[in-house]
Structure formats: C-alpha cells, structure tokens
Amino acid sequence: MTVFEHRGKLLIVDCGVLFPEEHQPGIDVILPDFSWIRERLDAVVAVVLTHGHEDHIGGVPYLLRERPDIPVIGSRLTLALIDAKLKEHRIRPKLQHVEEGDRVTRGPFDLEFLAVNHSIPDGLAVAIRTSAGLVLHTGDFKMDQFPLDNRITDLRAFARLGEEGVDLFMVDSTNAEVPGFTMSERELTPAIETVFRTAPRRVIVSSFASHVHRIQQILDAAHAHGRKVAFVGRSMVRNMGVARELGYLRIPESLVVPFEQLERMGPTKAAIVCTGSQGEPLAALSRMANREHKIRIQPGDTVLMASSVIPGNENAISGVINGLTRWGAKVVHKGNAKVHVSGHASAGELVYCYNIVRPANVMPVHGEWRHLQANADLAVKTGIDPKHVVIAEDGVVVDLVRGRAKITGKVPAGNVYVDAQTVGGATEASLKDRRTLAEEGVVTVLAIVDADSGELAEPPEFLIRGFVHDQEAFEAAVPVVEKTLAHAAREGIGEAHQLEQMITHEVGRWAHKKFRRSPLIITIVVDA
C-alpha cells in the first residue's frame, strides 16, 4: 500500500494483505496500518489497484469499512475480483473500470494506465502526473514476450514516458536478485502435458486461486487428454467463475463439472483443481494430506503443485508433500519438474527498463530489504546517481521536490492483525503469549491469602497444562510464593492485582532457573 500526497489530497496505490507465518499463531491475515490516514480519509481521491492478487487488493474491504465511497480504479478482472470480495463484506463500492492507454484525473493527480504482464491477467502500471513531477509505478510485472493472453508489457509507453521525463521510477524488486530473464509461461506446457499424459489415475492440481494463466494451461491439458475437471475450494470456485464469466478463462463445453459428478467417473478421466500450494493448514491440499478432506488420496494419484514457494512456507509445503506421498501419490513440484515460472521481472528485464526510462530518481518497491538493495544496485549500474536511489521501509516518507526524491520522515506503519472477526485486537504482546503457550505451556498459581496477615491460608495450587513437568515438581515453588507474600506484607502491599504480578514474576524466575523453561505464569489471588 502506497500513499501519494499532493496539494492536500491523497491517492492510494494498492491495498493488500500479508499472510501469517508460524510465529503469528491464530492470525488470519495482516493488514497495512491505516492509522496515519484514518483522520484524513475524506482527502482520499481514489484507490488504484494494479492487479488482482491478494497482496495488492486483500486490504481494500477493511479500508472501505472506514469510508465505503472511496472510488476504486482498476482493470476489468481486478475490479471483478475485488467486487466479489466486497460482496462478502456487504460493501457496495464505487468502481471505475480502466484499460491500458486510459487517462483519468482524480483531484490533482493525472493518471495514465499502461499494460504490464504478470502471473494474473489485466495487470497495469500507473503513471502519476502532478505539478510536482511524474511518477511511474510498475506494480508487479515481467516482460514475457510470449504470454498466454498475448498481452505484453508496453515498453513503448515506458519509453514515451522516459522521453517526457520520469521524475521517480518505482520498480518491482521481487526478482531483482535473479540474473537474466524470467522464463515464459508457455515453456511450462510440455511439463504439464507430460503429467496429464502419464498419470495412471487422478490428477490433482494445486495452484493460487488467482493464477488464471496456469489454470488455463491445466484446462487445456485436461481437455487434450480426455479428462473432466472439477474446481475445489471456495476461493478457487469464485475466482475461476469470475474469470470464466469475463472471458479470461476459455473452457470447452462440458469440460468443467461439479465435484460430485467427477466422483462418479473413472480415475483416469478425472482432474481436480484446488488451493493449498503453500501448505496452508485449512486449504484443500493440506487437508487431503492429513486425511481430513472428502477427497481421499489413493495410490497412483498424481499431485501437481503448480506454484512457487513463498519464503517462510518451505516447512509447511514439505509436510504436505510428505503426507501426500505417504498415501501413495506421486507429487510433481517445482523442485523436480518445470511446472512454475515467476510473475516478476528478473535482473535483465529490470536493467532494460532503467535504460529505456532513464529516470531522474529510483525507488525500488515490492520486496524484502535484500531485494530492494539488489534492485537499487541494478539502477546504479545503469548510470543513475546513487544519491538519487531511495530505499524506503514501510512508513518512510519520501518527498519529491524540484526533481529530487529524498527521505524526509516517518509515520506509523506497523502490522494490524485480523483474528477472525476482530481487526487490531491481537497485538505483538498477545502473539508472544500465544507462542509461549504453544512452546512452553501454562502454569496457573492459585493462592488463597489471609487478608489480615498477608500469609497463605493454605498451600498454593499449581495447575499445569502443556508443561512437561508434573504438578509435584512445583511443590518446591511453595517457599517462593511464601517469601514473595512476606516481602509484600513488609512493604504494605495487599492489593490482589499487585500480589498476582509479584507472584507471577517470582515463580517465573524460579521456573526458568529450575527447568530452563519459561511457561506462561497466571496467578490468581483469592482473599481468604
């Protein structure tokens, strides 16, 4: 999510979500922090969406909850995907459809949209013209010269803008560390064909629910080899329905059937397309691997994992592959076959763009710090002054004044956690408690205290859950509780909450010293 400010008005480009990692238990998605613009939502003239992936559109419903009438601008497929999502949130948005070549004005921002190629159809770059300068934001893109939809990145428009003079070039950095050029989507066809030609039983394909190009290749291969296809998973069914309705997915008549109908067919005639390529615990493929899904993996089934590995998901994906293999499936994935290509420009493509655009300033975007730095290094190698290359973390303010981009400040921009229906309720402190519960267990100390003497009325109870040592091991902590209460009495401390904090602290110290573990300690003091 990027916010542009000019003459008191705000323009937002993309508003996505992150997905939780292992150290964020119980979290569904992670939102950008809207706090800096929350008091200025009336100044937002539009939200521009570059393409329909969750990390670029997933946060829009939460933003529109706060102001539902913000205009949302995007391509046809992108708007259809966000509209379906917003209906689930019962929001009726103000959508404005644009195509490559269109120019629209919102407040002080003159917006021109350019075609870019990505792993989802209808990707757009956006050129933002203001009296302060011209910014070109690529969104996510690559330069596939033979895309499945024959819609290539518009380098002629990039060059035209370069001649006009790009003051700030904001460039996708995801693959900046990868040398050369990103492989074409069409080069995957032979490997996918091989899977469908040689599979002895069912073919089960897992992919991102938004990867329309890859699903098209799967459908083509299934049709060529006489298999019927069923979509499984709510997001997969929804997105493919949208793509089919808009004509982005070409499906031969009667190729796609309901899953119940597919079950009645022979296994050599069946193909299933589902979610779960990243090992998500609740996704269809993970539940199949754990024998928790209505689709039961059988010996001879072939599972095709047609996606990349998102960093941090390696262990989860490995666990899914092991589970599927245990039940007799042959698993084909990026590690043993050419079944996925990236949707992002590699270093060679980025250098081409720098040489074509020749921007005055460069700000790498979309990536971790190492990707941003690699992209910055590429810009410098093409002759851009290192002083004119800005690497900015989340929340950093960059001013573009008289043709020069500089970091000038910082605003709040942390993570906002969505836990079921609660937005922002979970904090880093509560996540730390959850991790402690998962890793160390919990010990509840029940202390009945005589209000007059401040001493224990009876020995404390220790209720233990998830901690490896039994209750008897904590009998040695009784003197710790007694000593703590005695100290509190001498200091004149008798309020229950203060006593609970003191006992929690001292028992926690004792447990760490005794067991080299730090369970979550919860103390309850009862007035005798």
234-263: pLDDT as tens digits:
889 989 999 999 999 999 889 999 999 998
In the prediction, which pLDDT does 311 show?
61
Q: Are 255 and 282 part of one and the same domain?
A: yes
**Distance of alpha carbon 396 from alpha carbon 149, whole angstroms:** 37
Q: Residue 88 above 70 pLDDT?
A: yes
In the prediction, which pLDDT does 334 show?
82
Q: Are 176 and 190 part of one and the same domain?
A: no
What are the DSSP calls for 347-393, one per residue? HHHHHHHHHHH--S-EEEESS-HHHHHHHHHHHHHTT--GGGB----
In the prediction, which pLDDT does 312 show?
60
Mean per-residue pLDDT of the chain = 91
Q: Are 234 and 199 part of one and the same domain?
A: yes
In the prediction, which pLDDT does 467 show?
79
**Distance of alpha carbon 208 from alpha carbon 56, whole angstroms:** 14
Q: Are 31 and 151 part of one and the same domain?
A: yes
Q: Which of 416, 436, 454 is the last residue of a domain?
A: 416
In the prediction, which pLDDT does 282 show?
66
Q: Residue 404 above 90 pLDDT?
A: yes
Q: Identify the CATH number of the domain in which residue 358 sits.
A: 3.60.15.10
Band (335; pLDDT cuts 50, 70, 90): confident
Q: Find the mean pLDDT for residues 55-61.
A: 94
Q: Find the mean pLDDT for residues 16-45.
A: 87
**Distance of alpha carbon 10 from alpha carbon 82, whole angstroms:** 21
Of all residues in the chain, the percent with pLDDT exceeding 90 is: 63
Band (518; pLDDT cuts 50, 70, 90): confident
In the prediction, which pLDDT does 351 show?
98
Q: Are 34 and 162 part of one and the same domain?
A: yes
Q: Are 384 and 467 part of one and the same domain?
A: no
Residue 215 sits in which domain range? 186-332
Q: What's the total number of domains in the chain?
A: 3
CB atoms within 10 A of CB 240: 24
The single residue listed with the structure tokens 């808009």 is 246
Q: Identify the CATH number of the domain in which residue 499 sits.
A: 3.10.20.580
Tell the burial category of 244 from Cβ atoms under 10 Å away from its Cβ (0-12, 13-18, 19+): middle
Q: Are 379 and 246 part of one and the same domain?
A: no
Tell the burial category of 18 from Cβ atoms under 10 Å away from its Cβ (0-12, 13-18, 19+): middle
CB atoms within 10 A of CB 335: 12
**Distance of alpha carbon 417 from alpha carbon 62, whole angstroms:** 12
49: left (phi over 0), alpha (psi -120 to 50) or beta: beta
Q: Find the mean pLDDT for residues 370-377.
A: 97
List 362's β-bridge partners, or say none: 169, 389
Q: Which of 314, 332, 350 is the last residue of a domain?
A: 332
Tokens for 155?
């380098």
Q: Identify the CATH number of the domain in which residue 319 sits.
A: 3.40.50.10710
Q: Per the domain annotation, does 421 fall within a domain?
A: no
Q: Are 7 and 136 part of one and the same domain?
A: yes
Q: Residue 149 above 80 pLDDT?
A: yes
In the prediction, which pLDDT does 360 show?
98
Q: Residue 86 above 80 pLDDT?
A: yes
Q: pLDDT tens across 96-138, in order?
A: 999 999 999 999 999 999 999 998 999 999 999 999 999 999 9
Q: Are 382 and 487 part of one and the same domain?
A: no
Q: Are 149 and 61 part of one and the same domain?
A: yes
Q: Residue 310 above 80 pLDDT?
A: no
Q: Are 202 and 234 part of one and the same domain?
A: yes
Q: Which of 359, 392, 416 is the last residue of a domain?
A: 416
Q: Per the domain annotation, does 422 fall within a domain?
A: no
Q: Are 327 and 346 part of one and the same domain?
A: no
Q: pLDDT tens across 163-202, in order?
A: 999 999 999 999 999 999 999 989 989 999 999 999 999 9
Q: Per the domain annotation, does 326 fall within a domain?
A: yes
